[in-house]
Amino acid sequence: MIDIVTALLMAAVLAGTPLLLGALGEILTEKSGNLNLGVEGMMFMGAITGLIGSYCYEQALTAAGIVPNGVISALVALTVSFLAGAFGALIYAFLTITLRANQNVTGLILTIFGTGFGNFFGEYFGLAAGGYVAVSSVTKAAFSPLHIPLLSEIPILGKLLFQYNWMVYFAIALALGMFWFFRVSRFGLNLRAVGEDPAAADAAGINVSRYRYLATVIGGGICGIGGMYMSMVTTSGVWVHGCVTGYGWLAVALVIFATWSPLRGILVAIIFGGLMIMRMYVSIPGLPAQIYDMVPYVATILVLIITSVRQSKEHAMPAGCGLNYFREER
Amino acid sequence: MSVPARQKREPLVRMVKRDDISSRRAWSYRALAFVAALATGGLLILILGHNPLFVYRDMVVGSWGSPTVIKETIKLAIPLLICALGLALAFKMKFWNIGGEGQIIVGALAAGYFGFFMADFLSRPLLIAVMLLAAIVAGGIYGLIPAFFKAKWNTNETLFTLMLNYVALAVIKYLMNGPWKAPGSSFPKMPMLVPGGRLTQILGVHWGWILALVLVLVAWFYFNRTKQGYEISVVGASENTARYAGMNVGRVIMRTMFLSGALCGIVGFLQFSGADYTIAEGIAGGVGFTAITVAWLAKMNPFGMLAVSVFIAMLERGSNTIQTIYKIPASASSLLIGIILFFMLGCEFFITYRLVFRGSASPGRAGGGGGDGGASTSSDSASPGQTDRQKREESA
Amino acid sequence: MNEDVPLAVSMEHIYKSFGRVRANVDVRLQLRQGEILALLGENGSGKTTLVNMLSGVYFPDHGEIYVQGRPVTIRSPRDAFDLRIGMIHQHFKLIPVLTAAENIALGLSGSVTLNRKSIHAEVARLAERYGFELDPARKIYDMSVSEKQTVEIIKVLYRGADILILDEPTAVLTPLETEKLFAVLRNMKADGKSIIIITHKLHEVLAISDRVEILRKGEFIATVETATTNQARLTEMMVGRPINLMIERPEASGGPERLELNALTCVDHEGVTTLDDVSFTVYAGEILGIAGIAGSGQRELCEAIVGLNPPTSGSISYSPPHPDLAKTPCEKERIDRLSPGAIARRGISMAFVPEDRLGMGLVASMDITDNVMLRGYRKGKGPFVDRVRPKALAERLIEELEIVTPSTSTSVGRLSGGNVQKVLLGREIAQEPGVLIVAYPVRGLDINSSYKIYDLLNEQKARGVAVVFIGEDLDVLMEISDRLLVLCGGRISGIVDPRAVTKEEVGLMMVHVAGAEGLDSETGSATGEAA
């Protein structure tokens, strides 16, 4: 029994991590007042570029007769996927902040664009590689579960806490860092002000555009890293057509579920991850497996309804979210 | 003393709202943006090692070059157009229905129920009619669910409708694997629709194209000439005003979303009964998402949607052609659509605003010069107080 | 002019246009060190535009600005802070979910982490020095309007401002709070600060300022020493001609009862009681004025009457006029459970000019015709709308009310404030109402438009309409109303004859319900709601 619970929890953490990364990126973005619905697109962009980045790194070194290094390969994937997500977010930021386009529409187009981007280059490199793109075992090893001496060997707890791939710890550290940023730092406070009421922030001498650009672009980069998790960990370094589909949107929903708090995001991501993989661990007689697929989405709908019924001033979407700001004459 | 050194520190570019812009000029801007988008896409093609002009030419030929491909293109345009008309209903109301996919699926499933299980009991016209009606009702109800919660508790409809897409998809998977699985099939798939349930072809394409054209006219009249269309516009502009004017906002939202979902449901029926003859996970095929951009690009104008849907169908059809000729993956179409949309969205800014560069003459300075103040033209048509107030509202 | 005192700020030949509108034309402004300068002008005269160029919100098209004698360029609020200029905006620039201290420290540079303790200490020091009261750890959304203003002022002082600009600071304050604010301003002046105060209330100008600068239609008119002028001369300079500021008050016709409210109570969705046991009657052919500080339940009252905000308890009854005198007087009917649509379907014509004109009364993006048909679009059978009659009505309104617009197909969002209000009021009057409720009908309008509105209201009164006038300017309310109802924290603190009371008495009623207990908490919660 304990084994099943442990396995379920571990699988939940693994499945929840890309959602957490996507949600963290979106929290940062929304705190600045930009409602970027293009998370799925940015995750797609990060997913394909991360994979291709590692792939190209390996190919280049192998061609030169050098054995690729797993850690460097992982770093390449991390950097490239961040940049790709940030690039998607930059398009969004330029259109909404500078050109004042509608945020909803821009985000949706970013999703279409990013999905096309991911699948297009996935197929393109697949064709070039003669079938499909996949990274070698060196890189795969860099994304496999860690083994920390002593800690990983603690019974049960070691398994539950210290046997994940490095990206899980990266995501959690990021969540903690963001929590500190919003709660304690001056920049976090300023960013919250920008998201709540850009006019007030502007009057207080905060450069609204700069904060929005930075938060949106960095947020997009984090989403890109979340996408990279999908292609490197979830699908084990092989490009699967449409591999991110649905995850980006769940990440957006998770932001609401987490009431814009990075810390609650960790918890909620594990719950969502658990819902997604539950059918492999728990079977209720008479309930077809496909119905399990619905659960995360139905849960999200329920959360949407519940949060809308009981409104709260504190745990709400930033008041300026979704609206563009311009001082008109500048 | 005038224009001292400090003037250099004036911002490099300032944005000033245009008073008005001639529609000719606005359209030339849009054309320019379109060309720029094609050029950007062309650059991508160039990087992939192909001649963009040839690729674009083959896309056009591949979608309009022969009667066969023209029919294919039109077949792609029909669902896009009808779905866009449906979504535009909701968008005009500022209701972000991105659940077109789900509404298409349940429409198809409702039609599928009668098509698969009732075909033996109904005559052909009756069967088609019942299937159509079932699709309308099912799509409508699926649209009604988020509308109800929006009307009652202002529940975020964007994510709600989106999540319903995935729920509908799970239902298809469930039916495909179990209750509706084709007898004798080893794969999880549904049976084929009996010929009696398939749509008649007119000029080589199922009659959905006539329906689509009729719906364009109906939608135009509905938006512009009916009381309900007027109500949708008012609710979209301001719910407070709508309530003030005695409209039942909740009812308008629910009624409109029923219609919106119903139109998407019709798309599901057409795809099932006119094109696929069976139901699989890809029955909606992204139409619900692409149609969003059709509606938006056309600025919710039904005739515009007709043009845009045909254009996007051409891109999709053309992408298939270039996949076979150039080995460029067909996903290029959504990449290209994304690029075009980015440019179209961006160009609206230049239609609304004018850039003032540092050092260029501004109206105030032109009238200034001496200190006589005789240039006062603070007209009554729009007093400064008005602009102040507007700005405050805009920044609020 | 006393040339010995150095100038804190000097603005010369300032030009500023918004599109075709010229908000400032060759305007100058001189603020002396350690004085209080009142900037006086009508709505739309360019006062706010001018000071916004000083605070970095707008950038001038042309002109020079000198601070302490040095030429400067102010491109953003940040530049203004660096020059020790601070502005208290009319619409507070505060973040509701943050605390007072967090708002005060917003946007400042300094260590990466925020030291809340030292901010609290500094805030306390400033509060004591100038005579404020403020708890820095409280969230803004819990605060009353005057407390929010205090936060704004301390925010500016915290940044070390020596030059303070206050844009219509008294508009939202009670007479008592205004006095307190003026005391603080005098303290700051004594401390060497230079202050610009924008207002259009003449008695306040005379009470607080050392000098007055007058703007009219975007142009500089004059600067005068306050001690050497009076209300009449200031008005003449402000409007450009001598005008009679008297508002007419024709005798009320003593008509029958039209609207009766009985023990009306409203609780909003947060559980706050916004209206508490409100009972009064409005008669045909009178103007009932309603006074009260912002957020005392005025909006809820209007919305309850017209059916937008169903009351929690109590009743509203309407007695329709009976054009056919042979018939027996019509039955009184309860309307408190009816929606606006249901009220209209009963044939009751309830006209309402809401406070939020473009957000509730009109649709800014629609043209005049489509706005005019907002009330009557349901008329006629069939699913189609009739735009022929609304267009004719729009044309008639444009002619009769002298609405300045290119055509009936111009969107109302493009019209000036006065013309927007004429479209709205014109449409409401055109439905020949039995009751006409107007909320803040002259806010933001220039004097000419304001008097046109007063005339229209008196015309309706003469036609036997029961007019409810919700206002903020006590002087106007006391001149135009036949009876004056004073609201305080959602309760009626009295209905008085405006001819028989003084402004001070009404001001006291606005903050105090006679015989009420536990009133502080209630007014606190109600004023906290103020927009």
3-state secondary structure chain B: CCCCHHHHHCCCEEEEECCCCCHHHHHHHHHHHHHHHHHHHHHHHHHCCCCHHHHHHHHHHHHHCCHHHHHHHHHHHHHHHHHHHHHHHHHHCCCCCCCHHHHHHHHHHHHHHHHHHCCCCCCHHHHHHHHHHHHHHHHHHHHHHHHHHHHHHCCCHHHHHHHHHHHHHHHHHHHHHCCCCCCCCCCCCCCCCCHHHCCCEECCEECHHHHHHHHHHHHHHHHHHEHHHHHHHHHHHCHHHHHHCCCCHHHHHHHHHHHHHHHHHHHHHHHHHHHHCCCCHHHCCCHHHHHHHHHHHCCCCHHHHHHHHHHHHHHHHHHHHHHHHHCCCCCHHHHHHHHHHHHHHHHHHHHHEEEEECCCCCHHHHHCCCCCCCCCCCCCCCCHHHHHHHHHHHHC
**B235, pLDDT greater than 70:** yes
pLDDT recorded at residue A320:
82
Interface mutation vs chain B, best among C17, C45, C389, C410, most B CBs within 10 Å: C17
Contact B362, B55 (CB under 8 A): no
Q: Flag whether C2 is in a domain.
A: no
Count how many pairs of residues, chain A against chain C, have C-beta atoms within 8 Å.
88
Which B residues, 216 through 255, put their C-beta within 8 Å of a C-beta on chain C?
225-230, 233-234, 237-238, 240-241, 243-248
Contact C413 B14 (CB under 8 A): no
Q: Are A196 and C94 within 8 A, CB to CB?
A: no
Percentage of chain A exceeding pLDDT 70: 98
Q: Do residue C425 and residue C437 come from a single domain?
A: no
SS3 call for C93: coil
Rounded to an integer, the average pLDDT of A56-68 is 91
Q: What is the mean pLDDT of residues B94-112?
A: 95
Are C418 and C437 members of one domain? Answer: no
Radius of gyration (C-alpha) of chain A in whole angstroms:
20
For chain B, the chains sharing at least 3 beta-carbon pairs closer than 8 angstroms are A, C
Closest CB to C374 among B1, B14, B245: B245
Interface test with B, best of C416, C421, C445, C448 (most B CBs within 10 A): C416
For B388, which of C49, C306, C358 is closest by C-beta distance?
Answer: C49
Facing C89 at nearest CB: one of A190, A203, A329: A203
pLDDT along chain C (531 residues), means of 10: 76 85 89 93 85 89 91 89 90 89 87 86 89 88 86 91 91 79 92 90 88 91 92 85 77 85 89 90 94 87 92 90 59 86 87 91 92 88 88 92 86 84 92 92 82 91 93 88 92 92 86 53 38 33
Q: What is the mean pLDDT of residues A279-301?
A: 80
Residues of C whose CB is below 8 A from B10: 59, 73, 75
Tokens of B246: 């005695």
Contact (CB<8Å) B338/A304: no
Please give the pLDDT value at position C322. 67
Closest residue in B to C374 (Cα–Cα) = B245
Q: How confident is the model at residue B272 (pLDDT cuts 50, 70, 90)?
A: very high
- Nearest-CA distance B168 → chain A (Å): 9
Confidence of residue B362 (pLDDT cuts 50, 70, 90): very low
Contact C62 B16 (CB under 8 A): no
- Give me the pLDDT at residue B393, please: 36
The residue with tokens 């070039």 is: A128
Q: Is C358 in Cβ contact with B393 (below 8 Å)? A: yes
Per DSSP, the three-state class of C11 is: strand
Residue C338 and residue C460 in one domain: yes
Number of domains in chain C: 3
- The phi, psi pair for C88, rounded to 5°, reads -105, 105
Model pTM greater than 0.90? no
pLDDT (average), residues B111-129: 90
Phi, psi angles (nearest 5°) of residue C424? -65, -50
pLDDT reported for residue C517? 41
Least confident of A48-57, A105-114, C322-331: C322-331
Residue B396 contacts C, CB cutoff 8 Å = yes
A94, A104, A120, A287: best mutation site toward chain B, by most B Cβ within 10 Å?
A: A120
Q: Which residue of B has its CA nearest to C364?
A: B237
Do residues C444 and C502 share a domain? yes
Which pLDDT value is given to residue C324? 56
* Residue boundaries of the structural domains of chain B: 77-313
**Shortest CA gap A132–chain B (Å):** 13
What's the CA angle centered on A88, arms A86 and A94, to 5 degrees?
95
- Supply the pLDDT for residue C474: 84
Closest-CA residue of chain B to A288:
B174
Question: C80 exposed, middle or buried (CB, 10 Å; 0-12, 13-18, 19+)?
Answer: buried
Q: A288 vs B335: CB contact, 8 Å cut-off?
A: no
Same domain for C87 and C180, yes or no, is yes
Each residue of B161-197: pLDDT tens digit? Answer: 999 999 999 999 899 888 888 888 888 889 888 888 8
How confident is the model at residue A154, as a pLDDT?
82
Q: Which of A121-125, A219-223, B352-356, C29-33 has the lowest mean pLDDT?
A: B352-356
Quote ipTM for the complex.
0.88
Q: Residue B3 — very low, low, confident or very high, per pLDDT cuts 50/70/90?
A: very low
Q: Is A308 on the interface with C (CB under 8 A)?
A: no
Q: Does residue B370 have a pLDDT over 70?
A: no
Q: Which residue of B has its CA nearest to C23?
A: B384
CA A161 to chain centre: 21
Q: Residue C15's beta-bridge partner residues?
A: C62
pLDDT band at A328 (very low <50, low <70, confident <90, very high): low
Q: Mutating which of B223, B239, B353, B388 best tests the C interface, going by the most C Cβ atoms within 10 A?
A: B388
Provide, as residue numbers in chain B, all residues whose Cβ is less than 8 Å from the Cβ of C66.
Answer: none
Burial A86-101 (b: 16+ CB within 10 A, else e): bbbbbbbbbbbbbbbb
Domain endpoint, select from C183, C211, C239: C239
CB nearest B335 (choices: A116, A288, A301)? A116
Three-class SS state of C82: helix
Interchain proximity C359–B233, CB inside 8 Å: no
User: For A111, which residue in chain B has the nearest alpha carbon?
Assistant: B338
pLDDT of A213 above 70: yes
CA distance B258 to chain C (A): 18
- The answer on C309 and C445 residing in a single domain is yes
> Hunting for tokens 């006095």 — which residue is that?
C179
Does one domain contain both C79 and C53?
A: yes
Are C415 and B381 in contact (CB < 8 Å)?
yes
Contacting residues of C for A206, CB less than 8 Å apart: 106-107
The conformation of residue C367, written as its DSSP 8-state character, comes to B
User: Do residues C265 and C344 both lie within one domain?
Assistant: yes
CATH number of the structural domain spanning residue C268: 3.40.50.300
Which residue did the predictor score with more confidence, A168 or C42?
A: A168
pLDDT confidence of residue A229: 96
Residue C96, chain B, CB below 8 Å: the answer is no
Residue A118 has pLDDT above 50, yes or no: yes
Residue A307: pLDDT above 90? no
Residue A4 has pLDDT above 50, yes or no: yes
User: From CA C299, how far away is CA C276, in angstroms rounded?
Assistant: 14
Q: What is the structure's pLDDT at C215?
A: 92
The tokens for A92 are: 């969004």
CB spacing of B338 vs A113 below 8 angstroms: yes
Query: Hey, what amino acid is at A83?
Result: L
A232-250 pLDDT tens trace: 999 989 999 889 988 998 8
Query: Are A202 and C110 an interchain contact pair (Cβ–Cβ within 8 Å)?
Result: no
Q: Are residues C64 and C200 both part of a single domain?
A: yes
Is C280 inside any structural domain?
A: yes
Verify that C188 and C286 share a domain, yes or no: no
Subunits next to C (3 or more Cβ pairs <8 Å) are: A, B
The H or E element containing residue C460 is helix C447-462
Q: Identify the domain containing residue C406 by its residue range.
A: 363-431
Of B140, B78, B64, give the one whose Cα is nearest residue B107: B140
pLDDT for B212 equals 95
Q: At what angle do helices A186-196 and A2-31 cross, to 10 degrees?
A: 70
> Which residues of chain A have a CB within 8 Å of the CB of C96?
196-197, 313, 319
Q: In Å, how far is B38's CA from the nearest CA of chain C?
A: 33
The Cα C37–Cα C46 span in angstroms is 16
Question: What value does the mean pLDDT take over residues B129-152?
Answer: 96
Contact A256 B331 (CB under 8 A): no
Domain annotation covers residue C520: yes
The helix (run of H) or strand (run of E) holding residue C164 is strand C163-167
- Give the pLDDT of residue B11: 67
First vs last C-alpha separation in chain A: 65
Instruction: Identify whether the C-beta of residue C290 lies closer than 8 Å to the C-beta of residue C510.
Output: no
- pLDDT number for residue A111: 92
Sign of the dihedral through C-alpha B28, B381, A326, C143: negative
Contact C141 A313 (CB under 8 A): yes
User: Is A308's CB within 8 Å of B170's CB?
Assistant: no
Taking all residues of chain A, what is their mean pLDDT, rounded to a whole number? 89
B-chain residues within 8 Å CB-CB of C359? Answer: 238, 240-241, 393
Per CATH, domain A2-309 is 1.10.3470: yes
Termini Cα distance of chain B:
38
- CA-wise closest residue to C116 among A195, A178, A184: A184
Task: Give the whole-angstrom CA distance, residue A146 versus residue B15.
Answer: 53
| Mean pLDDT across A28-54 | 95
Tell me which chain C residues have a C-beta less than 8 angstroms from the C-beta of A194.
none
Out of A185, A205, A330, closest to residue C107 by CB: A205
Residue B384 pLDDT > 70: no
Q: Would you list the domain boundaries of chain A?
A: 2-309
SS (H, E, C) C23-62: EEEEEEEEEECCCEEEEECCCCCCHHHHHHHHCCCCCCCE
Contact between B248 and C26 using a beta-carbon 8 Å cutoff: no
CA distance C476 to chain B (A): 21
The answer to the question of residue C148 being in a domain is no
> Which of A 199-228 lie inside 8 A of C, CB atoms?
199-207
Spatial separation of the C-alpha atoms in residues B205 and B69, rounded to whole Å: 11
pLDDT at B358: 66
Q: Is residue C284 part of a domain?
A: yes
Average pLDDT, integer, range B284-306: 91
